[in-house]
Amino acid sequence: MRVSRLLGRTLRQEPGEAETPSHRLMLKAGLVQQVAAGVYSYLPLAWRSLRKIEQIIREEMDAAGGQEVMMPVLQPIEMWEETDRRRAFGPILFTVTDRKDHVLCLGPTHEEVVTHLVRRHVQSYRDLPLRIYQIQNKFRDEPRPRGGLMRAREFAMKDLYSFDADEAGLEDSYQAMMAAYYRIFQRCGLQAIAVEADSGAIGGKESHEYMVVAESGENDVIFCGSCDYAANVERAQSVKPPLPVETPLPLEPVSTPGMKTISEVAGFLGIPRSRTLKAVFYMADGNLVFVVIRGDLEVNEVKLKNALHCFDLRLATDPEVAAAGLVAGFASPIGLKGVRVIADDSIQLGSNFVVGANRPDTHLRNANYPRDFSVDQILDIAIAQPGHPCPRCGGDLRGTRGIEVGHVFKLGTFFSERLGALFLDREGTQRPVIMGCYGIGVGRLLASAIEAQHDDKGIIWPVSIAPYHIYLCPLNLDQPPVREAAESLYQELTTNGAEVLYDDRSESPGVKFNDADLLGMPLRLTVSPRTLRQGVVEVQSRRDGQRDYLPRENIAQQLQARLRALSSGPGTSQP
């Protein structure tokens, strides 16, 4: 491809709307163009990379027993109502109404449709197992699209669904997909780790996310420095530090004028925050919920939402709190009636806590559970914190940020039971098919590769997914010998199957070199009057900047060897 004919142009100025390195570099390098918030056109360079990523995914899915299909974007809303996921997805679900006033949705995922498909084709255990996948655009009305392709409203996704006769079969499918995912990310030049994750609106009893560690990532990851424990912060657990055991003392009111926050109360009374109990008020599907947790911890709203089995969870407003007769800043579960109380298990890891007195400007010392108050439910609803002991080995937990590039779920029989995907087992008994779901965001994988491999000059593409492998950069094209040599080299390389981006523009060396670094092809070939006099071609690696001068003879074979060496990129970490 000649740069002069390439759709898209590089930018000299930094794009002001970019939030992440990948977003900035994709805009600056002319890879994508925004159409609307969270909606992008992929220009030729990005599209070539995406096709390579898709091919890697297809090869690994096929090798793992997958069969590729294509399912519709438009889905009848009745399917989503049968599984009650219309409410679970809420406003994220795009809906449309056809001319007959039938409501359909633009698929954010395809569990309903694929279950309906399999219901028609699976009658017996002999028809199982099945692994069905597609690569297709998904649609989610994200409230805050960000980071370019990191969180978009329309995005390409590979989704595979497994169907098995029993739990052992599901485990086989799950492990096969986890292994395939490691190979995919490794082949794309990415180091990814698998972490325990919350299943969210997809559902299921077990799931793992694949994370590429990056400061620009929007996911917090907790991991152990001593064992292989790793989890998304939404799912992570920790051993909460206990407090010294004390003899329970009598309740004692204490004046705390104007002290509403945990920090204010603890500072005023000269105690650590861990010696207080914090009250947090939520509205769960329109009902007020009182949450109590030790003052040095924070509520994990994902854990809380799962515990409450609700669709909508948000912090209660001051009027909602007041309407329940509660005094914000001075509330506690002591003497509370008519309000559901959920407690974190940290209330059992201490004694003689300071709590609100349920009247203004007053707290109580020496509150103890269960002596002084009761709760409706007690469980772990706290955010795991770096520095806490690991729940598996007791080692110190650490924190980092990551980009989610894949997610696998054990769905069980949730969809098959609701949608009637049944089969006859060996004994002739009708049973629901056991399902798994496995997704990879293709565009996000592209962006993650740029996040993981770039410098202050531009992108550093892994060979496997680079739009082109070679950036042919002739200097002084106004000189006929240089132009003739460059044209000859371009023809020879392309004839031998090399992927070459030929910068045939009449630009200065500085502009060409800057664009070569920005676009980030693995090898840059420079042809100039000086190299012609010496009978060589200058070859520079984008990854490490190493520069060599190769003889013109057999240049195609020499470059192929270089590219093979560069293909041995970073590996992938097992969880």
* Last residue in a domain, options 451, 481, 514: 451
Pairing of strands 353-356, 219-224: unpaired
Predicted pLDDT at 82: 95
Q: Is 527 exposed, middle or buried (0-12, 13-18, 19+ CB in 10 A)?
A: buried
- Chain centroid to CA 480: 51
**Torsion angle in degrees (nearest 10) through CA of 288, 293, 295, 300:** -80
For residue 271, what are its two tokens?
Answer: 């105690």
* Last residue in a domain, options 323, 345, 379: 379
In sequence order, what are the residues at sequence separation of 6 or more whose Cβ sits closer than 8 angstroms to the Cβ of residue 118?
130, 132, 161, 163, 421, 433
Q: Are residues 327 and 367 in the same domain?
A: yes
Q: Strand pairing partners for 551?
A: 536
The closest alpha carbon to 22, from 273, 205, 217, belongs to: 217
DSSP, collapsed to helix, strand or coil, labels residue 123 as: coil
Report the half-sphere exposure of 287 (CA within 13 A, side-chain side): 13
Q: Are residues 279 and 341 in the same domain?
A: yes
Q: Are residues 485 and 533 in the same domain?
A: yes
In sequence order, what are the residues at sequence separation of 6 or more whose Cβ sits closer than 8 angstroms to the Cβ of residue 241?
274, 349, 388, 389
Burial 182-219 (b: 16+ CB within 10 A, else e): bebbbbbbbebbbbbbbbbebbbebbbbbbbbbebbeb
Backbone angles phi, psi at 304, to 5 degrees: -65, -45
Q: Are residues 219 and 288 in the same domain?
A: no
CATH number of the domain that residue 141 is part of? 3.30.930.10
On whether residue 463 sits in a domain, the answer given is no
Q: Are residues 102 and 169 in the same domain?
A: yes
Determine the Cα–Cα distance for residues 478 and 247; give it in Å rounded to an integer.
91
Q: Are residues 283 and 322 in the same domain?
A: yes
Q: Are residues 156 and 303 in the same domain?
A: no
In sequence order, what are the residues at sequence separation of 6 or more whose Cβ sits closer than 8 angstroms to the Cβ of residue 567?
462, 463, 464
Determine the Cα–Cα distance for residues 528 and 37; give it in Å rounded to an integer.
44
Determine the Cα–Cα distance for residues 275 and 53; give it in Å rounded to an integer.
52
Predicted pLDDT at 573: 39
For residue 138, what are its two tokens?
Answer: 């998904």
Determine the Cα–Cα distance for residues 433 and 274; give it in Å rounded to an integer.
48
On whether residue 507 sits in a domain, the answer given is yes
Domain that holds residue 297: 252-379
Predicted pLDDT at 203: 57
Q: Are residues 285 and 362 in the same domain?
A: yes
Residue-wise pLDDT tens digits, 217-258:
888 999 998 998 999 998 999 999 889 989 999 999 999 999
The closest alpha carbon to 313, from 351, 345, 271, 281, belongs to: 281
Q: Are residues 73 and 170 in the same domain?
A: yes
Q: Are residues 369 and 273 in the same domain?
A: yes
Determine the Cα–Cα distance for residues 451 and 449; give it in Å rounded to an integer.
5
Q: Are residues 71 and 212 in the same domain?
A: yes
On whether residue 574 sits in a domain, the answer given is no
- Residues of the chain with confidence (pLDDT) below 70: 199-204, 569-575
Predicted pLDDT at 146: 86
Determine the Cα–Cα distance for residues 223 and 401; give it in Å rounded to an integer.
11
For residues 187 and 464, the answer to whether their CB atoms sit within 8 Å is yes
On whether residue 166 sits in a domain, the answer given is yes
DSSP, collapsed to helix, strand or coil, labels residue 68 as: strand
Structurally, how many domains does the chain consist of? 3
On whether residue 388 sits in a domain, the answer given is no
Q: Are residues 435 and 330 in the same domain?
A: no
The closest alpha carbon to 104, from 132, 135, 72, belongs to: 72
Extended strands (E) in 69-215? 74-76, 94-97, 103-106, 130-139, 154-164, 193-196, 206-213
Determine the Cα–Cα distance for residues 126 and 515; give it in Å rounded to an integer.
57
In DSSP notation, 248-259 reads ----EEEE-TT-
CATH number of the domain that residue 499 is part of? 3.40.50.800
Extended strands (E) in 328-429? 340-344, 353-356, 362-367, 377-379, 397-412, 422-424
The closest alpha carbon to 181, from 199, 193, 169, 197, belongs to: 193
On whether residue 221 sits in a domain, the answer given is yes
Residue-wise pLDDT tens digits, 14-23:
898 888 999 9
Backbone angles phi, psi at 460, to 5 degrees: -125, 95
On whether residue 456 sits in a domain, the answer given is no
For residues 351 and 248, the answer to whether their CB atoms sit within 8 Å is yes
On whether residue 87 sits in a domain, the answer given is yes
Strand order in the sheet with 103-106: 74-76, 103-106, 94-97
* Last residue in a domain, options 327, 347, 379: 379
Report the half-sphere exposure of 42 (CA within 13 A, side-chain side): 20
Distance spanning both ends of the chain, measured CA to CA = 41
Question: Residue 129: is the preceding peptide bond cis (ω within 30°)?
Answer: yes
The closest alpha carbon to 367, from 339, 337, 344, 347, belongs to: 347
- Chain centroid to CA 261: 33
Determine the Cα–Cα distance for residues 158 and 132; give it in Å rounded to an integer.
11
For residues 397 and 389, the answer to whether their CB atoms sit within 8 Å is yes
The closest alpha carbon to 180, from 158, 206, 154, 149, belongs to: 158
